[in-house]
Amino acid sequence: MREEAEEETSIILRNVSSMQGFSPEAWAQFSETGKHSAAPSTDGIAANKSYNPFLSYAYLSALEDSGCVGENTGWLPCHMRLETQQGVLLAAAPAYLKSHSQGEYVFDHGWAEAFERAGGQYYPKLQLGIPFTPATGARLLTTENNPELRRLLASAVAQFTNQNQLSSAHVTFAEVPDIQALTETGFLHRKDQQFHFKNNGFQEYSDFLEELVSRKRKALKRERREALSNGISIEWLTGSDLTEDIWDQFYAFYMDTGSRKWGRPYLNREFYSLIGERMGDDIVLIMAKRDGHYIAGAINFIGGDRLFGRHWGCIEDHPFLHFEVCYHQAIDYAIAHKLSVVEAGAQGEHKLARGYEPVTTHSAHYISHPGFRDAVAQYLHREVREVEMNNSYYAEHSPFRKFHQSE
């Protein structure tokens, strides 16, 4: 791969093959990558409300050090550094050369098949995002929300794609400022949906229930009672609670889910040990226990102002336990810890009935071949109309009283 793309301003793009191409201190200077803000506070340390644990040096390096990404995984690190000719880091992007389209949660398998049927080579492609993680965050990392550096980085990524004769570059689960910079550079904008819980200043779960229409409120109360009716209790484990024994038990749950039809366990056991060691205070395991033994659990990551739900698994099946552990308990945790949002992962219309509202997610796609770009653009134009139709449907079926004022 050609390593550098040079701008007229003597700013260059350099790609590095691992997170070791950055120092942890340099990486933490970007707006969402560190737990503490650069802005001063009365005690000298201000919490960074925009902190995204998936963008942290600890998380990204754990993926590499455990071998979940790297050689023979289809995710080859190719992180981007926008820097001066003297090597001063200005902006960056977590990036990977992909030899497949697994673990992205923004689906382009049909694009790949069409391009290769026409005689093209779709892979390798460039992927900017967090492996195996459908959570929105900054993708063009800059200090102090610098729009000019964001535009320069977007342009440099497109230039890198062309110089290395890649079919495409994909920026997934990006924030709107990134999308604006990318579309100005020729990327195509794609929209999709997830379901997020929004904490409107609730003091306890019952406050949230009051926001729902009566029949939905009654249904959730009944569901929660039934989920725990077989002598099941719930524990929240974080920080020093995350022992190797706990990780062994959770990993058994994770692998049970991954072994089922359509399952694909991307993460190995070592990864969990590493994140427990490096960022345990940013993790909460919501674990279900029966007869003194853990039987199910879900891993959540704690951001500056939101909770990110990720993987779930169980070794015993109980009615509604999945909903209790993954969705209701996450809401309880967010309310108790005054977090504004719970992101519960990809897809899932069943989340709507449990108080998770539809939210638009964004990605951007740079297609090198002009004819293929036109075809993808037409496809996305049709797709966005489906997303808009879904929005109307979800509003009609929302459990919230604000959408059903007559009830």
In the numeric block, the tokens 């391009």 are attached to 115
Domains of the chain with CATH codes: 4-193+360-395 (3.40.630.30), 200-339 (3.40.630.30)
d(CA 284, CA 113) in angstroms, rounded, equals: 40
Say which residues have a Cβ less than 8 Å from residue 175's Cβ, sequence separation at least 6: 136, 137, 138, 139, 362
d(CA 355, CA 349) in angstroms, rounded, equals: 11
Here the tokens at position 187 are 């990327």
Q: What is the pLDDT along the chain (407 residues), one digit of tens a residue?
A: 655 555 445 899 999 999 999 999 999 999 899 987 654 444 445 578 999 999 999 999 999 999 999 999 999 999 999 999 999 999 999 999 999 999 999 999 999 999 999 999 999 999 999 999 999 999 999 987 899 999 999 999 999 999 999 999 999 999 999 999 999 999 999 999 999 999 999 999 999 999 999 999 999 999 999 999 999 999 999 999 999 999 999 999 999 987 775 667 899 999 999 999 999 999 999 999 999 999 999 999 999 999 999 999 999 999 999 999 999 999 999 999 999 999 999 878 999 999 999 999 999 999 999 999 999 999 999 999 999 898 888 888 889 876 544 44
Residue 380, burial from CB neighbour count under 10 angstroms (0-12, 13-18, 19+): middle
